[in-house]
Amino acid sequence: MITIFLHEALFWQFGTGFESRGQILNVSLFKSIFYEKRTMFDVHFQLRYPRRGKNKTPNYSLPAAIYFVVNVDGVLSTPRTTGMKVLKDDWDSTAQKINGSSDEVQHKNRRLKRIKSDLDALEQELSATMDVVTSQHIVDVYVGKKQKRLTVSKAFDNHLETIRNPYDKEEALKEKSMEKWDRSKELVEEFLKSIKMENLPVIHFTLPLAEKYRKFMVKKYKFGKDHTSRNLSYLRTVFQEAKKDGEVPNNPIYDVELPRSRPKKPEPLTLLELQRLIDFRAKDIWLQQSADAAIFMCFTGLDHCDYMNFDADRHIITIDNVKIIRMVRQKMCRKGYRPEPVEIPILPEAMAVLDKYNGYLPKIKYNTILDQVRQIMSMIRVTKNISMKNLRKTCGTYLLNKGVRMEVVRDVMGHETIAITEKIYTIVYPETIINEFRHLLIG
């Protein structure tokens, strides 16, 4: 049997109660004693107040800086700042957190919790590879890792975790938005892999490297200005959040240029083009359904997302024998804000489409209907650059040219202010100009 002689000092260190020096133990017994003896580890937060006067007395009326201290077997490390401040009355020293329920308070509490969990994980990691781990060594390694070794991939993971689990559930991103963030992370990792820098620290992802990343996206995926700038803006946001949380000293791509293409203003369909769309007939059932959906959107002003959510049983009401669509516009529901529903009287052209499908409009995905509407517009000799916004703009322009007051159009379109309506929809049809001048021409 393999044996080991315990030194007299081990009796005190492990407190095993051995009565004599040199008592023999087998290896398995020694290991059980050793591993049952756990290191006492704790992270404690404390406040440091600004001092004033010659006596340097603490000024408790001002916000105090929050520091963390690591305790290993009763030996304390030097305090290190968390980068956060709090008023004395808002700090709960027992629970080690900030009192309150605001978004800012919850964000700070999540940061405190993350600091504590990161230090705990680091202590376990170091204990597995070192014989003696001191509190000061843990803090030094922690600060070094946070400021010099936080990788781009890890920073992205941290940010994705934050936006996936927000404090306010109403601020949670939609599935499509999360897919864009996930795809952006995949692009960054693919780029870093292509240059053999998978574990690149955030602070080394400098502006020249950001330009290489831009060229990588253009060359490999043929991305345009908007797409490349959006992915770079995601990365800049990730780095900025890491800086805000004290994980890196600065954002290395804060000044990165994010050029955008000048957006093309959607043009409304003219009365003649609108009539051609109404008269359009196709043997292809899918093409005809897309044409009918386009007509419905032209005469109701619904966005594609609102069209997809439209349910005749829930959203159609009757007021004074007039059927009205009453629903909340989806694009106005942002950051927990829920606007008042819009009320849209159903014009005869839109009612004809509803009657054709007995109230159950065909549901067509955005890319599919966009491709088919562009095909239809080409067939009816419409040369405009077509997007789904053209259909909504057609509705507002049509109503104004038919004499509907500006403030009514604003409410029907769901605009916050009448200035938006004036800016976008004050396009006068040639037919309207002629009608307005008819009495002058006759005279």
pLDDT score at 248: 78
Q: What is the pLDDT of residue 242?
A: 86
Evaluate if residue 111 carries a pLDDT over 70. Answer: yes
Residue 33 has what pLDDT?
Answer: 44
More confident residue, 428 or 133: 133
Report helix, strand and coil shares of the chain as percent, to nearest 5.
55, 15, 35
Residue type, 172: A
Strand order in the sheet with 342-345: 316-319, 322-327, 342-345
Angle (CA) 222-390-181 rounded to 5° is 40
Only one residue has tokens 């409009």, namely 361
> What pLDDT was estimated at residue 19?
39
pLDDT winner (highest mean) among 142-146, 213-217, 427-431 = 213-217
Q: What is the pLDDT of residues 279-306, one digit of tens each?
A: 999 999 999 999 999 999 999 999 999 9
pLDDT, position 433: 75
Terminal alpha carbon distance of the chain: 124
Confidence (pTM): 0.51
Residue 121: the pLDDT is 87
Output the six-digit token pair for 161. Answer: 């975790």
The pLDDT value given to residue 58: 86
CB 327, CB 315: distance < 8 Å: yes
Mean pLDDT of 231-250: 87
pLDDT in tens, 337-365: 667 888 999 999 999 999 999 999 999 99
Task: Please name which of 204, 214, 193 lies closest in space to residue 239, comparing C-alpha atoms.
Answer: 204
263/265 Cα distance (integer angstroms): 6
Query: Is pLDDT at 1 greater than 60 in this prediction?
Result: no
Residue 96, token pair as written in the block: 């080690």
Nearest to 411 by CA among 349, 340, 350: 340
Does the pLDDT of residue 20 top 90, yes or no?
no
Rounded distance, CA 217 to CA 223, Å? 6
- pLDDT for the residue numbered 175: 83
User: Across residues 310-319, what is the average pLDDT?
Assistant: 92
pLDDT digits (tens, 9 = 90+) for 382-441: 988 888 888 989 998 899 888 888 888 888 888 878 888 887 777 777 777 777 777 677
Q: To the nearest whole number, what is the mean pLDDT of the chain? A: 83
Residues above pLDDT 90, as percent of the chain? 45
Quote the CA–CA distance of 108 and 97 in Å, as a whole number: 9
Q: Cβ(72)–Cβ(135) under 8 Å?
A: yes
Tell me the percentage of the chain whose pLDDT exceeds 70: 85
Distances (CA, A) of 113 to 68, 109, 134, 364, 413: 11, 6, 22, 46, 45
User: Whose structure tokens read 């955005």?
Assistant: 366
Segment 135-146 mean pLDDT? 77
Q: What pLDDT is attached to residue 419?
A: 85
Cα distances (Å, whole numbers) of residue 419 to 110, 369, 409, 424:
41, 31, 12, 9
CA distances from 81 to 17, 44, 99, 186 (A): 42, 12, 19, 33
The one-letter amino acid code at 338 reads R
CA 361/CA 315 separation, integer angstroms = 13
Average pLDDT over residues 78-102: 91
pLDDT at residue 361 in the model: 93
List the one residue out of 70, 158, 167, 80 whose CA is nearest residue 119: 70
- pLDDT computed for residue 254 by the predictor: 92
Confidence band for 336, pLDDT divided at 50, 70 and 90: low
Pair 397, 265: CB distance under 8 Å: no
